[in-house]
C-alpha cells in the first residue's frame, strides 16, 4: 500500500491542478502510470478524505464481496445535486441500505432466465430492422447505431414501448449524464453548464415517463412486463411504489440497460476489425451454425466462439470501467485500515489488464475463455459485471443480447475501420469510443458447408 500525493491535495489550488490534469490529459494513461509507479492498491489525500485506487483483484474482492456491508456507493453516485443520482434518482444503481434491498427484490424477478428468454426474438428483430438501413460500402457511426438499437430493445422488452419519438431526448440525457461524471470533481453546489443542462433534459424525460406511468395506472392491466411489476408491487406494509420510485427504477434500467451493452458491442467490432484471424473464426462459426439464417435462443449454446469473443472484449474494454464505493466505518482490507468516509475507485479496466493475473494482458485473445482454459482464470480478476450483492442485475440479459446482436450482424456484415482511423478511449461514466466509431460496412455471404 503506497500513498501517492499524501498531504499534497489538501488545498483548493492543489486540487484544482489535479482536476485540470485529469480534464486535459488522457485519464486512463495517467492512471496507468499511477499504478505502475505506486502499485495496484494506493491512495491519495483528497481534502479531508482519502481516495483509494484499486487495480488488485484480492482487494476488489474484499470490498465488493467479503466486506461489502462496510461500504456504500460513493457520493458520486448518490449526490442528487452533482452526481449521477441527478438523473437516476434513487434507483437500484444509486441507492443503498433497506431502500436498495427492497427494490432489488422487486426488480430481480424481471431478469430470471425464463423471462429474459422471451426477449430473444425482439432482440433479433430490432437488429434486422437496423440492418435494413445499412448499405454495402457505406460508412456508419456504429457506436451510435448500437446505442439506438440497444435502447429500442430495452424499451420494448422491459417497458413494452417504442421509443422512436424519444430517442433524441434520451440521447441528450445520456450525453449530459456522461459529462456530469467528469464534473463530479467540482463541488456539488457549483452549477456547472453540464449540471444546468442535465437538470433541463432530465425534467423533460421525467415528463414523458410520468405520462407513461399515468397511462399505465389508468389502464390498470398487467401485461407482464417490468413496468407492470413495478406498478403493481407493494412493500411490506402493502403500499404501492410511488410514481417517483417507479420513475427512478425505469430511468435506471433504461440508461444502465442499453449504454453498457452498446459500448461492449462497439469495442467488440473495433477489436474484430483489428484482428482478422479472430474475425475469420467468428464468421466460420456463424456460417456453420446458422448457415445464413438469423440466430435464435436455441443457437446460443452452439455459438461458443461468439461468446468467447465477447467475454474477451469485455476484459479489455469493460463498459463499467470503474466502480466507486465509500467506507461506512473503519475497515481492514488486506492489512490496510481504510478510514471511515474514504472513497474507493475499483478499476475493472486495470484489474482485467493486470499482469499479475493475465499473461500478455493487452493481447486480444478469445482463447482465454475457451471451455478448456476458462477454469484457469482467476475469477476475482474478471469482473465486468462487478461481483457480490451489487452484481449487475441485468448480466444475463446483457450477455444474451450481446451474443444475439453480434451473431445477427456479423453473419451479414463485415465491419472495418476507415484507413488511418485510430479509436481513442473516452472514460466517462462508461467507457466509450471518443467521438463515436466510424466503420465501413461490407455485406458478406455466408460460406455454407456442403451437407
Ligand atoms: C455489457 C453490459 C453491462 C455491463 C458491462 C454492466 C455492468 C454493471 C456493473 C459493473 C454494475 C455494478 C456497479 C456497481 O456496483 O457500482 C452494474 C449494475 C447494474 N446494472 Fe449492469 N451492466 C450491463 C448491462 C446491464 C443491463 C442490460 C441492465 C438492465 C437491463 C443492467 C442494469 C443494472 C442495474 C439495475 C444495476 C444496479 C444493480 C444493483 O446495485 O442492485 N445492466 N452493471
* pLDDT tens-place string over residues 308-350: 999 999 999 999 999 999 999 999 999 999 999 999 999 999 9
Nearest to 272 by CA among 138, 121, 148, 423: 423
Looking at mean pLDDT, say which of 8-17, 250-259, 390-399 comes out highest: 390-399
Of 110-114, 183-187, 442-446, least confident by mean pLDDT is 183-187
Closest C-alpha residue for ligand 1 atom 9 = 385
Nearest to 51 by CA among 81, 18, 84: 18
Residue 279's pLDDT is 98
The CB of 433 under 6 Å from ligand 1? The reply is no
pTM beyond 0.75: the answer is: yes
Coil vs helix vs strand at 359: coil
Q: Which atom of ligand 1 is nearest to the CA of 263?
A: 1
Residue 6's pLDDT is 45
C-alpha cell at 300: 446460443
Nearest to 94 by CA among 216, 205, 214, 177: 177
The CB of 429 under 6 Å from ligand 1? The reply is no
pLDDT in tens, 75-121: 877 777 777 888 899 999 999 999 999 999 988 888 888 888 989 99
Residue 7's pLDDT is 43
The CB of 260 under 6 Å from ligand 1? The reply is yes
Closest C-alpha residue for ligand 1 atom 27 = 257
Residue 184's pLDDT is 67
Of 180-194, 232-246, 262-276, least confident by mean pLDDT is 180-194
Residue 122 reports pLDDT greater than 70: yes
The CB of 146 under 6 Å from ligand 1? The reply is no
pLDDT in tens, 365-423: 999 999 999 999 999 999 999 999 999 999 999 999 999 999 999 999 999 999 989 99
Residue 306 reports pLDDT greater than 90: yes
Residue 1's pLDDT is 63
* Substitution candidate for ligand 1 out of 260, 321, 351 with most atoms within 8 A of CB: 260
The CB of 352 under 6 Å from ligand 1? The reply is no
Residue 85 to residue 444: CA distance in whole angstroms: 44
The average confidence (pLDDT) of the chain is 89
Residue 15's pLDDT is 61
Query: CATH for 2-443, among 1.10.1060.10, 1.10.10.10, 1.10.630.10, 1.10.3720.10?
Result: 1.10.630.10
Coil vs helix vs strand at 416: strand
Amino acid at each position: 500500500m503506497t500513498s501517492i500525493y499524501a498531504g499534497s491535495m489538501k488545498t483548493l489550488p492543489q486540487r484544482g491542478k489535479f482536476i485540470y490534469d485529469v480534464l486535459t490529459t488522457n485519464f486512463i494513461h495517467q492512471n496507468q502510470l499511477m499504478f505502475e509507479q505506486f502499485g495496484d492498491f494506493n491512495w491519495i489525500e483528497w481534502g479531508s478524505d482519502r481516495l483509494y485506487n484499486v487495480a488488485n483483484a484480492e482487494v476488489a474482492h474484499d470490498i465488493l464481496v467479503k466486506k461489502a456491508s462496510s461500504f456504500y456507493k460513493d457520493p458520486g453516485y448518490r449526490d442528487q445535486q452533482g452526481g449521477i443520482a441527478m438523473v437516476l434518482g434513487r434507483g437500484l444503481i444509486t441507492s443503498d441500505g433497506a431502500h436498495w434491498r427492497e427494490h432489488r427484490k422487486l426488480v430481480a424477478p424481471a431478469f430470471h432466465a425464463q423471462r429474459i428468454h422471451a426477449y430473444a426474438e425482439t432482440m433479433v428483430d430490432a437488429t434486422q430492422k437496423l440492418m435494413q438501413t445499412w448499405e454495402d460500402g457505406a460508412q456508419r457511426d456504429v457506436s451510435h447505431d448500437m446505442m439506438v438499437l440497444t435502447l429500442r430493445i430495452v424499451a420494448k422488452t422491459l417497458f413494452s414501448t417504442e421509443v422512436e419519438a424519444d430517442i433524441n431526448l434520451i440521447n441528450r440525457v445520456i450525453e449530459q449524464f456522461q459529462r456530469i461524471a467528469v464534473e463530479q470533481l467540482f463541488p456539488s453546489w457549483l452549477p456547472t453548464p453540464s449540471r444546468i443542462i442535465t437538470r433541463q433534459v432530465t425534467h423533460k424525460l421525467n415528463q414523458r415517463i410520468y405520462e407513461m406511468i399515468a397511462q399505465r395506472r389508468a389502464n390498470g392491466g398487467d401485461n407482464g412486463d417490468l413496468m407492470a411489476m413495478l406498478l403493481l408491487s407493494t412493500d411490506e406494509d402493502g403500499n404501492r411504489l410511488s410514481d417517483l420510485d417507479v420513475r427512478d427504477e425505469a430511468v435506471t434500467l433504461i440508461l444502465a440497460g442499453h449504454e453498457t451493452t452498446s459500448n461492449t458491442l462497439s469495442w467488440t467490432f473495433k477489436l474484430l476489425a483489428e484482428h482478422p484471424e479472430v474475425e475469420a473464426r467468428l464468421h466460420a462459426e456463424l456460417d456453420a451454425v446458422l448457415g445464413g439464417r438469423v440466430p435464435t435462443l436455441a443457437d446460443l449454446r452452439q455459438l461458443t466462439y461468439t461468446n468467447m469473443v465477447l467475454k474477451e472484449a469485455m476484459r479489455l474494454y469493460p463498459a463499467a470501467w470503474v466502480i466507486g464505493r465509500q467506507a461506512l466505518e473503519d475497515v481492514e482490507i488486506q492489512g490496510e485500515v481504510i478510514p471511515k468516509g474514504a472513497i474507493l475507485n475499483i478499476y475493472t479496466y486495470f484489474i482485467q489488464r493486470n499482469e499479475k493475473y493475465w499473461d500478455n494482458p493487452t493481447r486480444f485473445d478469445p482463447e482465454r475463455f475457451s471451455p478448456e482454459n476458462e477454469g484457469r482464470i482467476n475469477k476475482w480478476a474478471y469482473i465486468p459485471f462487478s461481483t457480490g450483492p451489487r452484481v449487475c442485475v441485468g448480466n444475463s440479459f446483457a450477455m444474451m443480447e450481446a451474443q444475439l446482436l453480434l451473431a445477427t450482424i456479423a453473419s451479414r456484415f463485415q465491419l472495418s475501420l476507415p484507413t488511418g482511423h485510430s479509436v481513442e478511449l473516452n472514460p466517462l461514466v462508461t467507457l466509450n469510443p471518443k467521438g463515436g466509431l466510424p466503420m465501413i460496412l461490407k455485406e458478406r455471404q455466408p460460406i455454407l458447408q456442403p451437407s
